[in-house]
Amino acid sequence: RMVKMYMACRNDIHRYDASFIAVYKSLIPAEEELEKQRQLMAHLENLVAKEWPHAKLYLYGSCANSFGFPKSDIDVCLAIEGDDINKSEMLLKLAEILESDNLQNVQALTRARVPIVKLMDPVTGISCDICINNVLAVVNTKLLRDYAQIDVRLRQLAFIVKHWAKSRRVNETYQGTLSSYAYVLMCIHFLQQRRPPILPCLQEMEPTYSVRVDNIRCAYFDNVDRLHNFGSSNRETIAELVWGFFNYWAYAHDYAYNVVSVRTGSILGKREKDWTRRVGNDRHLICIEDPFETSHDLGRVVDKFSIRVLREEFERAARIMHQEPNPCAKLFEPY
């Protein structure tokens, strides 16, 4: 009811497109930064090749999925085959190599949930985390990057949502709110659901890319050059989409029963995933299915306190989009 009323009085939403586009543009990293990242990668590849000639280095996360902000750290995965890999030993050896190459702040965190070596490169000023054989992250990074190529509105929406989440401090998994990865999946799913759709469901199409990682088959249509016109019959603009996104998560999503799934391009029931009750620490209060690790709910970090914080923030954002005279300024007000 309320939503309808607001809709009726806000047919001027397009007035705000320009300010949202300006925010988006201000968040795109400069070409020099990407060049520096490539420079550091090339350097690391060289160092690693001397010790492990068969290893490969991959970028993953925001520095490679096209949803990265300026001045982010980079995430690197060292992939090496073999059943007898001792990650801790390897990380310690890697730390030694990096240290003797004059890289700074080198630190091996072998007991972390995802064990890594951290470093800072004094030449480019970039900080970097290196993990070993986290190949699923490399593959889901490619999936996100491929989706971003199809329609520019995904990148626009996701930058705005990430910027909002960081400003409002709801992008902190250690505090029970959602990861950037989860927010990008929510945006992809939202655009898959528009009518007509703005994004297809790549995993439901004839696969042109297929790899097996830790016994999970990751397959989808990655020939995205062919899909540049996919969303063109939908003319919704960025301000409308930002509005629709927050409206969905504030008022329309069924938190009790539903799971959003990029893999199927649809909404699934919690019952079919067996996510209806708390198991261990997984409470499933907001359910976002990982596209490849389908037993993994990205909302599992959310607890009974942080779900309230999140939902209040979605409602605040929706309210601002519905009635504020200058929604773009208000939306990103620091918490």
The least distance separating ligand CTP from the CB of residue 182, rounded to whole angstroms, comes to: 7
- Which helix (H) or strand (E) element contains residue 332? none
Contacted by 77, from Mg ion, ligand CTP, none: CB < 5 to 8 Å by type:
none
65 contributes a contact to ligand CTP by CB under 6 A: yes
Give the DSSP letter of residue 83: T
67 contributes a contact to ligand CTP by CB under 6 A: yes
Q: Decide: helix, strand or coil at residue 82.
A: coil
91 contributes a contact to ligand CTP by CB under 6 A: no
141 contributes a contact to ligand CTP by CB under 6 A: yes
Contact footprint for Mg ion (CB under 5 A): 61-62
Question: 330 vs 20, 28, 159, 321, CA distance in Å?
Answer: 12, 21, 16, 9
133 contributes a contact to ligand CTP by CB under 6 A: no
Range in contact with ligand CTP (rule: CB under 6 A) among 3-11, 38-46, 89-97, 133-141: 133-141
Range in contact with ligand CTP (rule: CB under 6 A) among 16-24, 29-37, 151-159, 173-181: 173-181
Question: 312 vs 84, 160, 246, 250, 315, CA distance in Å?
Answer: 48, 18, 11, 8, 5
The least distance separating Mg ion from the CB of residue 73, rounded to whole angstroms, comes to: 7
- Which helix (H) or strand (E) element contains residue 232? none
Q: How far apart are CA 31 and CA 17, in angstroms?
A: 25
Q: Name the residue nearer to ligand CTP (CB basis): 263 or 322.
A: 263
Pull the structure tokens for residue 174. Answer: 């250690």
Q: Decide: helix, strand or coil at residue 127.
A: strand
Near ligand CTP by CB under 6 A: residue from 298, 320, 321, 331: 298
Cα angle vertex 263, ends 257, 269, to 5°? 15
- Which helix (H) or strand (E) element contains residue 27? helix 17-27
291 contributes a contact to ligand CTP by CB under 6 A: no
Q: How far apart are CA 204 and CA 320, in angstroms?
A: 36
Contacted by 309, from ligand CTP, Mg ion, none: CB < 5 to 8 Å by type:
none
Range in contact with ligand CTP (rule: CB under 6 A) among 64-72, 203-211, 246-254, 256-264: 64-72
Name the residues that contact ligand CTP, by CB under 6 A: 60-62, 65, 67-69, 72, 75, 137, 140-141, 179-181, 298
